[in-house]
């Protein structure tokens, strides 16, 4: 099982490398994760500031938004990357002056676009659901309802900070600084929402 899993991961990595998408996938997984976490923070804060909104409504709205972000991330990336793969195949055909259909590049282009789409979509889904998780937990654990908002906001900021750190590590920048930058974006979103609520 472990060997099968490791072989599968290795072959997906190879496909992504052959299709020229490995760097892009890594980068955009975090970007979409950032989008997902911030958007969910916005949904939760927005509904939270309304007051007297049942947790069930927050969970339903949040899951709807998360699903929407998954579909948007998947479709956007899949369609774009499929077109990109076609372009790459055309370029390869022109360079090699030979038919390149039914080659590893053909397979890699198709599988790479699908994997890229799934990873992009799941990036926003995983991180947005992660931010929403205290609300989801409150539906099953009694007494947690009152703490869902502060827990979700805290978790959202922690997720953003960790995402920033990972992104910083990946791009070989100062990890704590990139983490703080990302978390600051979350704080800014929360402050803007509070300001809008105060003005209205």
Partner 1 sequence: MPERHELVVSRIVLDVLKPHTPTIIEFAKSISAVKGISRVDVSILEVDTNTETVKLVVEGAGINFEQVEAAVKHLGAAIHSVDQVVVEKISK
Is residue 104 near partner 1 by the rule CB under 8 A? yes
Rounded to a whole number of angstroms, the minimum distance from the CB of residue 105 to partner 1 is 5
Q: Using CB under 8 A, count the residues that bind partner 1.
A: 14
Part of the chain binding partner 1 (CB under 8 A), chosen from 2-10, 53-61, 67-75, 87-95:
87-95
Residue of 31, 72, 80, 103 interacting with partner 1 (CB under 8 A): 103
What is the C-alpha radius of gyration for the chain, rounded to an integer number of angstroms?
20
Which C-beta is closer to partner 1: that of 10 or that of 54? 10
Part of the chain binding partner 1 (CB under 8 A), chosen from 4-12, 14-22, 64-72, 192-200:
14-22
Rounded to a whole number of angstroms, the minimum distance from the CB of residue 93 to partner 1 is 10
Residue of 16, 41, 100, 166 interacting with partner 1 (CB under 8 A): 100
How would DSSP label each residue in the chain?
Answer: -HHHHHHHHHHHHHHHHHTT-HHHHHHHHHHHHHHHHHHHHHHHHHHHHH-S--HHHHHHHHHHHHHHHHHHHHHHHHHHHHHHHHHHHHHHHHHHTS--TTSHHHHHHHHHHHHHHHHHHHHHHHHHHHHHHHHHHHHHSTT-GGGHHHHHHHHHHHHHHHHHHHHHHHTTS-HHHHHHHHHHHHHHHHHHHHHHHHH-
- Residue 177 structure tokens: 């600084």
Is residue 57 near partner 1 by the rule CB under 8 A? no
Is residue 45 near partner 1 by the rule CB under 8 A? no
Which C-beta is closer to partner 1: that of 21 or that of 32? 21
Which C-beta is closer to partner 1: that of 42 or that of 109? 109
**Cα 134 to Cα 140: distance, rounded to the nearest angstrom:** 10
Residue of 102, 140, 172, 199 interacting with partner 1 (CB under 8 A): 102
Residues contributing to the site for partner 1 (CB under 8 A): 17-18, 20, 91-92, 95-98, 100, 102-105
């Amino acid at each position: 099982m472990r060997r099968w899993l490791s072989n599968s991961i290795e072959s997906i990595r190879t496909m992504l490398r052959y299709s020229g998408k490995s760097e892009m996938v890594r980068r955009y997984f975090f970007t979409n994760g950032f989008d997902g976490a911030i958007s969910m923070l916005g949904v939760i804060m927005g509904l939270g500031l309304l007051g007297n909104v049942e947790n069930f409504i927050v969970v339903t709205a949040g899951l709807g938004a998360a699903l929407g972000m998954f579909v948007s991330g998947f479709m956007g990336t899949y369609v774009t990357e499929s077109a990109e793969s076609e372009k790459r195949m055309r370029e390869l055909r022109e360079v090699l002056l030979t038919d390149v259909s039914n080659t590893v590049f053909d397979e890699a282009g198709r599988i790479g676009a699908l994997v890229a789409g799934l990873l992009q979509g799941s990036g926003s889904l995983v991180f947005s659901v992660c931010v929403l998780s205290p609300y989801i937990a409150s539906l099953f654990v009694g007494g947690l309802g009152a703490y869902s908002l502060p827990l979700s906001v805290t978790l959202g900021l922690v997720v953003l900070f960790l995402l920033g750190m990972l992104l910083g590590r990946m791009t070989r920048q100062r990890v704590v600084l990139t983490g703080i930058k990302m978390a600051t974006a979350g704080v800014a979103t929360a402050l803007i929402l509070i300001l809008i609520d105060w003005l209205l």
